[in-house]
Chain A
Amino acid sequence: MNSNRSEITIMKFRPSISRASATVALGLGVAAMASLPSLAQEKTITWGKPAEITGFDAHVAGTVASWEMYQMIYETLLEADESLALKGALAESWEQTSPTSYTFTIRDGATFSNGRSVTADDVIGSLERIKNPETASYWSAQLGDISKMEAVDDRTVTVELAEPHPAFLPALAHITAAILPIKELKEGSFDPTSQMLGSGPFMVEEHKQDESWTLARNPHYWREGYPLADLLEVPIIPDQSARIAALRNGRVDFTTFADPDSPQMLAKDNNIKSSPQQTTNYYRVDVNALSEDSAFHDRKVRQAMNLALDRQAIDDFVFAGTSEVDYPVPGAFGKDACRSLDAYALPREERIEKAKALLKEAGNENPEVGLIAASSNPVLGRIAQVAQQSLGEAGFNVTIESIPTAEYLQRVFTDGDFDFSVSWLAGYTDPTMVIAWWNPEFAIWNQVFQESVPELSAALDEVKTMQDSPERDAKLAEICGMIDESANLLALVSKTDYVVYRDDKIEVKVPEKSGSSDTFQYIEEFKPLD
């Protein structure tokens, strides 16, 4: 009985069910057809990023892990090309009307990802924010002393410096001088400490802390037809082996490595290619000249250490010869400064003998010293091991300590509780910018371990005001001599970045040389091949 009733009910509703099914099917079909073009056009590239950002504020963060992400979202007025020459980015053009006066014209069509045009007020507000001590931006000093800024019109800004500062323009090419949407910041709809809103090729769609970012193309990006990818997926993969695996299994299209070992290993894979990028950055040693507990308090011991360091061995053993011995004035700038110094020019045997003689003079033929390296970057530990061995030849007894980054930073830059440490330094796009850090009154961060050498500081102040010229090169060479004499902050070898990618999945454009730690300067031209 019940069974019959069910059959009748089904019979009764069958036409309606059929109609409903047809309608649903049609609807689904139409929906599917409608979504086909967008699905087909959705082009995604995936970047296996080795580290998460340390903060959202582009004017504040001092770490490359953060800069790399800001460079996807924000833009600067200027940028450096492969030859480290400046070119317009947000600024369509610029003019230096006097040694202290500059006029910038903002690019027509430059627009934040919320659809609002970038204006002169955004430029002025951004630079004011960097200069404001409350922002605590370390980049303030690199911009020089800005005395006045004016918006001539919506797209034109004039900047007046209190004194000549040729590094002002290169300083504008670093992402720490990013142009933020100041109107929204003032209105309170944008908080730069927890959000990112820029005029760069991508905008943030989703962020899962320590896990991944999803960046969508900025629909208002000024460069017509770019970026070529609609989505940039960014999984955070700190472990080097996991990044290798992700490249191999196609989970990521491109990533970076700090040493050549992984790229060389991956070179055996047919679809994986490596693109090394020379930078103005270099690995360095900070030496504690101020602590009386340290053997390096004695200048002669520091000089001996400088002579005994085998920079070539670091290049050979840590970087398989793919790096280069580097100088306080980075070799990437092509300057001759520093190259004739004993620490570089003398044969190794002579340097060792000289180092031993200096230690004897200092009355400390076997100094006991501790070398610290942040554990977050395995390359630093390997450099420390080579340094330990090479210094041993001159009589040094070096103990290596590998410690967490936060502890390293506090001990070296705040407490001065160390003998010497290995790290790396950004070289930027002008030699006077990086070399300025040798002046502790300017740099501030090295005041706890760097001795003040008044004549060196004066020379550094002077060179900052000089335009690129033979006179400036001569001054740089003079400064190199003083740096060598003080032996307080030493350059080791250049820092090459290795971009490794799947050439069956993506076409990349990586500049051979970078001066602003802007490895993915042409991210908008990365072309997905899937």
Chain B
Amino acid sequence: MRLIGYLLPRIAIALITTLGVSILVFLALRFIPGGYADILLGPFVTPEARAAIAQRYGLDQPVVFQFAHWLWSLLQGDFGVSMVTQKPVIDEFLRRAPVTLELAMIALFVALAFGVPLGIASGVAGRARGGFGRVIGAVGASVPDVVLGSALIFVFSVWSLWFRVGGYVPFSEAPVENMRVMLLPGLTLSVFGVALILRTTRDAVMQVMTEGHITTAVARGERPRDIIRLHVLRNAAIPVVTVVTTYFGFLLSGAVVVEVLFSIPGIGLYTFNGLLNRDYAIVQAGVLIAALVFISINMVSDILYAAIDPRVGTGNRR
């Protein structure tokens, strides 16, 4: 019951946030310069042609009416059709979701595999000896994906070194080929994650290490490995879970730059191209899905807090 009481307000806020995001993106798209008519006709867009295209896609209706129509269709599971292909955008999102999910999983796996152990090691080593954590964290967080990705593409286009740039094939069809294509973008995406998780873990571990119960455990003569496992990690987990879930949300909602750079046909690339083409249904659906993913992941992280620290759900945390 307490957990339900803890989650219900969050669900309500999530619904309001989703509606707010959908209104914002809908309006923003209508107010940014340029429309699909410009993209389709190039410079040759006459007022008559613009009007004809607007009428074809219902863009000549008042914005409020357009929004109401879109929302009503959405509630019935209709995310709209692409202006370019005239096909339902939800089909494309469903087709592309596994690609983005795979990319996100690779990046998350690498980020966790390196970020958590390095963060713990750096945190336990302390300020005096844990400088490597700061350096890796700073470098990883400072290098933009676009720079790292471009550098990797250049290097691996000159020396293939087993990896391939572009040419995505599903894992189920050709696992090895899939890995050859997906590992580079996955690694590119993971670098920021490594830095983020490393720094968060390091700070959390260092914080916990200064607390009294750790000193007590040391005084009791517990082995350092047990102290870290039983006392440090559990207490340091909450901030780490927060950043990991947020990072995963970011990855799932479309790692746009990396997908564009490596021509990975995920939802980020689709939404990005939709935005460039002013293909409204794609962008509206893409942003809404991204928002839903973020919100859902935050909900999961809220639940995880409660599981990790029982005081969270009861309001007894001090």
Give residues in A with beta carbon < 8 Å to B: 52-56, 60-63, 133-134, 136, 138, 191, 193-194, 207-212, 235-239, 241-242, 244-246, 248-249, 251, 376, 404-415, 423, 444-446
Contacts and interface: CB of A to CB of B under 8 A. Distances in A.
Contacts of B154: 241
B39 A409 contact: yes
Nearest to B180: A249
Contact of A407 (B32, B40, B45, B150): B32
A63 B165 CA distance: 27
Contact of A208 (B42, B165, B265): B265
Contacts, number: 155
A64 to B, nearest CB: 9
Q: Which of A55, A246, A248, A405 has the most CB of B within 10 A?
A: A55
B82 interface: yes
Interface string B27-38: 000001111001
B35 A235 contact: no
A251 B166 contact: yes
Q: 9 closest pairs, A vs B, by CB? A: A406-B34, A138-B44, A245-B157, A62-B42, A136-B49, A194-B86, A409-B38, A245-B165, A211-B265
B263 A239 contact: yes
A246 B165 contact: yes
A445 B32 CA distance: 21
A445 B46 CA distance: 6
Interface stretch (B108-116, B204-212, B270-278): B270-278
A303 B162 CA distance: 57
30 contacts: A52-B273, A54-B277, A55-B40, A56-B84, A61-B40, A63-B40, A134-B52, A136-B52, A193-B86, A207-B85, A209-B82, A210-B273, A239-B153, A239-B262, A241-B154, A241-B157, A241-B165, A241-B261, A244-B157, A245-B153, A248-B157, A251-B166, A376-B276, A408-B34, A409-B45, A414-B38, A444-B44, A445-B44, A445-B45, A446-B43
A410 B165 contact: no
A62 B33 contact: no
Nearest to A53: B84
Interface residues of B, number: 49
B69 interface: no
Nearest to A209: B85
A134 B165 CA distance: 44
Given A56-B85, A133-B48, A242-B262, A235 B167 contact: yes
A133 B46 CA distance: 11
A444 B164 CA distance: 47
Given A54-B39, A136-B46, A138-B46, 11 more contacts: A62-B43, A211-B269, A239-B263, A241-B153, A241-B261, A242-B262, A248-B158, A376-B276, A406-B34, A409-B34, A413-B45
